[in-house]
Structure 1
């Protein structure tokens, strides 16, 4: 059970990161559950920071 939960959270973080790199809005988060939504938004914020720091163009 823990493996499935961790995989889901990692997947949400990864999808949020990709969304942030592609310039999507944080309002486009597809998740409603708070734990998964937090992971998605965390990935989104990480991507925005990486993009602003010049890591990606």
Structure 2
């Protein structure tokens, strides 16, 4: 799996949000659409924080 060449990726790796994303879907805690929307918003914030 390739990761983005941005300093913000360290935030995603360290806060385990990607694990929560998959766990929410796998356990049915949230719908796929809800989990994706939430994770997408978090990614946008984390990956663009240094700009």
Normalised to the residue count of structure 2, the TM-score between the two structures is 0.41
Greater fraction helix: 1
